[in-house]
Structure 1
């Protein structure tokens, strides 16, 4: 893999992770989604997947582990986490063997569907007793897509939002899903020789603007309408998803 480090790359990382951290600080999620989408649209999906690792892991430790509901979440969703862990390895294996243009297009489609659902303001019905078998099924699908695209939002986040959890427990659950997914993805990328020293360094550097963005977002959260911000966020993701799909097909 050729060197991608340059002044332009560092500026891109700063902007991508500052914006991603800002979104996460305001609505509790969005850092890896924003950063990965911007990096995929510029330097490539494989490089983007590697660079988001450390910022995503470090910013989700607090959210996923220390929110006060850790034991309850693990007891309820352990099969979801286990299935996610297992299928991420398969997804990362396929990442080496599927045309990168198709993988980028897949990520773009995921972002498009996620944004479309967010803008529609529709809510999925709670699964009830079906949760017992849906947990491993959705976890497996989510892990496979995470391994192939680096994104853990569809169908995982949409499914978790349907479980009628209280807000703080849902935020911690999403943080734990992102944490488990990203740590597993890091080992899977390393095993498939997609995680270089240069990309790890860029990933470490990217944590600084991500953390700065989160601090700013946390302050802005008290003074901005979350509903308006979510509409702007999903609108941006909709356009970015369309751009990634179009760019992938033209590249192919």
Structure 2
């Protein structure tokens, strides 16, 4: 009975997370880590999201023709993401592992508030050369420590003034590299088991189903309304996780 409920929870989580990603182009790991983080350690939740995140992000990466050009432009940031993830996973696996839930809750709240404010910054070409690796390093540290790879990667890529289709591909590229780096780091720290990979593989099915449903919603609902509801939900989720840790 407990195993059945556990499986249903994972399925519902990835169906929801896939729906959000299909509707607005991002959010699968954020929603999955937020929902699963309420009932399991972040390291265990991060292991479950590896394959669904990788499959959906590769799909997003190759949704247009400019992925090679984006790789050439963003490689300093992506390299820094890998390095930061490597060190950040040590937090998830080390003596401070108990604090990763608090970090996840705070990260979700920051991400939600930044997105709700929606102030669009712009970065010059000169500043991009040194800010890119810095943004990648911080993103990697947050990825390794919490399993969420949106801060500051998403605001940073938004600040590059990319065309909409290029931005979607750039997000897919950043998320794909972050997922691969997280998988490698979790495996190195003995946090990625065969049983977790098996559940992660099964989670691809509800994640893809959610993406299709999210695409259906995107075609019929106001993007602005759905986006605001999504980030308000994330804010509440982050507050709940943070409260559970501090209570």
Query: Fold-level match, TM-score > 0.5?
Result: yes
When structure 1 is superposed on structure 2, of 46-55 and 63-72 the one drifting more is 63-72
In the other structure, the counterpart of 1:27 is 24
2:56 is equivalent to residue 59 of structure 1: yes
In the other structure, the counterpart of 2:198 is 201
In the other structure, the counterpart of 1:227 is 224
Distance apart, 1:66 and its partner CA: 4.4
In the other structure, the counterpart of 1:48 is 45
Unaligned runs of 5+ in 1: none
Aligned runs of 1:134-173 on 2, under 5 Å? 134-173=131-170
2:96 is equivalent to residue 91 of structure 1: no
1-side partners of 2:63 and 2:12: how far apart? 28
Give yes or no for contact 2:57–2:176 (8 Å, CA) kept in 1.
yes
In the other structure, the counterpart of 1:12 is 9
1-side partners of 2:231 and 2:210: how far apart? 18
Distance apart, 1:147 and its partner CA: 0.8
Match of 1:78 among 62, 75, 78: 75
Unaligned runs of 5+ in 2: none
Number of aligned residue pairs: give it: 246
Distance apart, 1:6 and its partner CA: 1.1
Give yes or no for contact 1:91–1:144 (8 Å, CA) kept in 2.
yes
1-side partners of 2:184 and 2:68: how far apart? 25
Give yes or no for contact 2:28–2:53 (8 Å, CA) kept in 1.
yes
When structure 1 is superposed on structure 2, of 97-106 and 157-166 the one drifting more is 97-106
Give yes or no for contact 1:127–1:162 (8 Å, CA) kept in 2.
no
Give yes or no for contact 1:101–1:249 (8 Å, CA) kept in 2.
no
Q: After superposition, what is the alpha-carbon deviation per residue over 1:230-249, rounded to whole angstroms, capped at 9, x for unaligned?
A: 00000000000011111122
Distance apart, 1:157 and its partner CA: 0.9
Q: After superposition, what is the alpha-carbon deviation per residue over 1:39-78, rounded to whole angstroms, capped at 9, x for unaligned?
A: 0111221110000000000111121134211121111111
Q: For residue 52 of structure 1, give the secondary structure of its aligned residue in structure 2.
A: helix
2:204 is equivalent to residue 212 of structure 1: no
Distance apart, 1:35 and its partner CA: 0.8
Q: For residue 127 of structure 2, give the secondary structure of its aligned residue in structure 1.
A: helix
When structure 1 is superposed on structure 2, of 65-74 and 237-246 the one drifting more is 65-74
Q: RMSD in angstroms over aligned alpha carbons? A: 1.2
Q: After superposition, what is the alpha-carbon deviation per residue over 1:111-168, rounded to whole angstroms, capped at 9, x for unaligned?
A: 1011011111221233442000001111011111101111110111111111111111
